[in-house]
Amino acid sequence: MTNRIADYFDPDAGHPLDRPEFADRQRVLKALCLGLMVMMTMVTLLVIAVVRFALGARPLPGNAGLVGGIPILTIIAAVITLTVPLVATILVPMIRTAGIRRVATTEPAPPEPGAADENDADRLWKVYSAGKFVEYALAEGAVLATAVLFHVTSDWLMMGFIAAMVLFMLVKFPTTAKARAWFDEAVPELDRIRQSGPPAGE
């Protein structure tokens, strides 16, 4: 690939993600994502304990009935689980594209008093982390909704849906290699947008 990110920003400084400030940001992002996974696991274990020991693993009355022998709420949980990867596949690239275009076509916001000016790498990091937060927020919402539905139905099939969401978060975990690959693809796109100029009508 031509126009590698290291050459784009500063040939002498190396990859931006090797700089100490970005290493710190990566550690924070990883810690937040890991914390969400741990929190969702703890919530699930708590709900399992309530269902198993307080409710005797029995469904609550009026849990919306069955469809083909399967609780309706289990079907709803399955739909939620299947929807998360689909929505993430559509929404996160939209956030990426809009974010890169915004970096390419607008000036950074004035810095806070005493803070350094933002550069392209700083602004691209915000785009990258925003996409990660959306992925994890979607998965977190699905886990919480499924845990509530499991509490109502006591249908252990829902544990498979929750496990799928935890697996989704593991797959999307922001490793350093993934972040570097994202930057290496984003920077040439940023450069192409700048070279092409603003869209007609702007």
Residue 5 lies in a domain: no
Calpha distance 201→33 (Å, rounded): 40
Q: Is the confidence at residue 187, as pLDDT, over 70?
A: yes
Residue 1 lies in a domain: no
Residue 158 lies in a domain: yes
The Cα-based distances of 83 to 56, 142, 154 in angstroms read 31, 9, 22
For 85-111, write each residue's pLDDT tens digit.
Answer: 999 999 999 999 999 999 999 887 776
For 72-89, write each residue's pLDDT tens digit.
Answer: 888 999 999 999 999 999
Residue 37 lies in a domain: yes
Residue 140 lies in a domain: yes
pLDDT reported for residue 83? 95
Residue 200 lies in a domain: no
Token couple for 182: 């994202």
For 36-83, write each residue's pLDDT tens digit.
Answer: 999 999 999 999 999 888 877 787 766 667 777 778 888 999 999 999
Domain ranges, residue 139: 10-109+117-191
Q: Which residues contact 64 (CB under 8 A, 6 or more apart)?
A: 71, 72, 73
Residue 201 lies in a domain: no
pLDDT reported for residue 25? 93
Residue 78 lies in a domain: yes
- What domain count does the chain have? 1
The structure's pTM equals 0.85
Phi and psi torsions of 66, nearest 5°: -120, 155
For 11-25, write each residue's pLDDT tens digit.
Answer: 566 677 888 888 899
